[in-house]
Structure 1
């Protein structure tokens, strides 16, 4: 983390930190990447020598929660990470009597933290020095509460539950869909099986290969399922038809939640959509390439289908293959090919409806 004093008023729109306003003359507490980018753009000066003190909030402070009644969490994770925090933090507030305000992208606050019941306030990113003075402690990296310090090979939810000393059985997350949104997206009654499908993630390694979309969607359609494509359309190809409703890049998060709530099953890669489906109570089949199944041990509504290719899971998060392949080969393995996915989905639906599927 760094402090940067701004020399020019400027609005910003950042892919990680969202939208905000930097005011000339104010000093802000920011992630190092943001501070360096801002300074490089000639908008401010990073404080290199004398730096203000910021009271941190760490696991040891849970022994004396009366000293830390008001905490500011500075959050720059993705939407799936926001779901993880939304699962655990409301219980942290109840257990310790701590008010937790969150400094983050406004869209994450409106579309994840508020619907999941966070009772604190939203603070625009980045916080200035005046804002920080109103808090007993500041938490800029919530993974410092991970006992293992590893949120890749273990369940991030379980790591936070253990780190905050909570009882996993008492964690009952929820996601409230606005009534007007649920009404506008109410699907007509139909004697069909509805499946939500999300094949894109933030990184190419986690995403399902576009050249396998067709075989998978045909397999699900041939099985008689109505398909609702969810998430973002990063391929430019659309699949609207009588059996497929392509909602990619056409719905806001609350609207996607309303659709997911009405699905009989969601099939997706390791992405925000399957995490959202889990808290909505919709059964999901998550397709894993670089992620390990241990990441989902807490998620009672999720079943994993992992690639059995020798290099999986590689734990890569973004676009590059650690083995230097041109693209990730995990989803081409027959353990998680379109036929295997359709077969596993049919089995899950058979268990749900107690009826045979072919």
Structure 2
């Protein structure tokens, strides 16, 4: 199952890897006793000395000891705000911010002008997901204490939590002006600039922070995040490594380095760092998510699923993890649970294009085409979809008849898709006065010949050629939705393509035997290629089971594997002989049978009405449906499916058994 784009129609799309930022705690590191407390509430010298001991424990991280002393002081003097404040800060440090809020709110209510109390309350409110209340608590302190950094920094955080990043950045510009020697201020300014889509400015601010604290692993990690976002992958990797030199057990930097190495194609090193991240911090949710996503891209869904389930156990509302879990479940054949994941992800985030698209893939695969084709339109909302969304001078066609108009239909995605969906040209022509069909250039002469023979309608042009004026346009793979196609009513009049007579270089040798064409590999750029393609030598049992001659239809990558098959049986190779798909069609027309994996050559055989046997992976492309040996798209194609993942041996055995009686 394909994770990202491909030259065939795209399969389930995994969500983007998460980069993890880590930021300083942004609260006072110790508890101060405001001077007003001593005079107003009459703190005794003994109580002051006791407070000093509590603060010492607190600073040293001995939280239980500090809390016991604070609690005893409050019991002795219920009005001692410094001790109440200390209890609140201990609760925050223990991860119990909700319990801290009433304590800190009491301090603010009693001493509303004390900025330290407002900062602590604001921090507790931020930690409990209440940025609006935090902003209310912090604003008076930020206005009344311009000489303090923390009130304004925390206010910026609160505004950011409300999505008011422009205001937050304005505050941080002022903070860095007033506190230009504070690395934390520059770090938070960078965060605001990044959220405001100003990566160059964010990078500059982080570099200012690093000038002040050059060995800070958190700052180095965050600079790596910015560099990765700017596409500077090698420099990002170097920055993460610098962070790890200073903090070898920094889990987030290991995870982020793993992400970047994966993008750089260093898959083994990537996996090492992704696994190291979750080993160092088993509770690192983004780390499990990224490791799961990496394993999915490596076509190892069984290993990916436990990590994605762990993410959802900790964060059930993670729509991205639900989407990726669905991808892994489809790959392992757990279709019902995958559908539930996709629908839950869409419920949580209705605009999640990847989840909509993956749901479409599943619905089409299971034969529910009406809803599936509707959901398939979400492909254009995915930033990494295999076909870029092109700009046209006329609106998208909605299927309404154009009795006096010109309709342009245009190919998208892969070459096999163009062959499969050009069949809709005849239906489209029935709803317009003039039809223009735009196709990949390697298809132009093939489609033009079919149009001349009356098999498909339309005036053919190649992508990139000048377009005539038109009134509406539609991509090929939106046409099944417009014509409400189902498995029962697919346009299946065959053939709808025609092969030209072969020219001299394409005439196959005549040896009085039947001829079988072979194709074993698709484009290596297809993200499903590791599943659909196989080594040529796996076809050896087929060559041994019949006296037929064999022809290699393989062109481009993988064609060199023809040398692994015996020359006495392989009488012709297409590589370096065919110029376009019309040439390939001329070769296929001379064959008795085509055997191959899911590539354009098999689509072409089907469209020519030529018998073909198609080898399919366990989680095959949606167009081949499920649990059937035939396809409504091509009556002449017979399907041979893997019964378990990554096992071609049973498929080859089944083919050999059929071939011996063919």
TM-score (norm 1): 0.61
Alignment partners' CA distance in 2, 1:258 and 1:126: 25
Which position in structure 2 is the counterpart of 1:200?
Answer: 521
Structure 1 residues 200 and 333 mapped into 2: Cα distance closer, same or farther (>3 Å)?
closer
- Of structures 1 and 2, the larger Rg is shown by 2
Cα distance, 1:199 vs structure 2? 0.8
Cα distance, 1:182 vs structure 2? 5.2
Q: Number of paired residues?
A: 256
Matching of residues 55-94 of structure 1 within 5 Å: 55-59=395-399, 61=400, 64-66=401-403, 69-93=405-429
Alignment partners' CA distance in 2, 1:53 and 1:105: 20
Structure 1 segments, 4+ long, off by >4 Å, are 31-34, 166-170
Alignment partners' CA distance in 2, 1:123 and 1:278: 22
> Are 2:577 and 1:251 equivalent residues in the alignment?
yes
Structure 1 residues 276 and 206 mapped into 2: Cα distance closer, same or farther (>3 Å)?
farther
> Are 2:539 and 1:216 equivalent residues in the alignment?
yes
Which position in structure 1 is the counterpart of 2:552?
Answer: 229
Aligned partner of 1:138 among 456, 473, 478: 473
> Are 2:641 and 1:306 equivalent residues in the alignment?
yes
Cα distance, 1:275 vs structure 2? 1.2
Structure 1 residues 123 and 307 mapped into 2: Cα distance closer, same or farther (>3 Å)?
closer
Where is the strand percentage greater, Structure 1 or Structure 2?
Answer: 1
Alignment partners' CA distance in 2, 1:282 and 1:220: 20
1:52-92 CA distance string (max 9 Å, x none) = 97322123x1xx3325x201223233221111232221343
C-alpha contact 1:206 1:270 (8 A) present in aligned 2: no
1:267-324 CA distance string (max 9 Å, x none) = 0111111111112222110000123532832311000000011x5xxxxxxxxxxxxx
Alignment partners' CA distance in 2, 1:286 and 1:186: 25
C-alpha contact 2:500 2:585 (8 A) present in aligned 1: no
Which position in structure 2 is the counterpart of 1:325?
Answer: none
> Are 2:661 and 1:335 equivalent residues in the alignment?
no
Bigger relative CO (Cα 8 Å, ≥ 6 apart): 1
Give the RMSD, CA atoms, in angstroms: 3.5
TM-score (norm 2): 0.35
C-alpha contact 1:185 1:255 (8 A) present in aligned 2: yes
C-alpha contact 2:555 2:574 (8 A) present in aligned 1: yes
Deviates more, 1:279-288 or 1:243-252: 243-252
C-alpha contact 1:216 1:342 (8 A) present in aligned 2: no
1:126-179 CA distance string (max 9 Å, x none) = 87xxx57x211122x3333334xxxxxxxxxxxx76449x96577344323333
Which position in structure 2 is the counterpart of 1:288?
Answer: 616
Which position in structure 1 is the counterpart of 2:461?
Answer: 122
Where is the helix percentage greater, Structure 1 or Structure 2?
Answer: 2
Unaligned ranges ≥5, structure 1? 1-14, 17-30, 35-50, 148-159, 312-328, 350-358
Which position in structure 1 is the counterpart of 2:431?
Answer: 96
Aligned partner of 1:177 among 499, 515, 521: 499
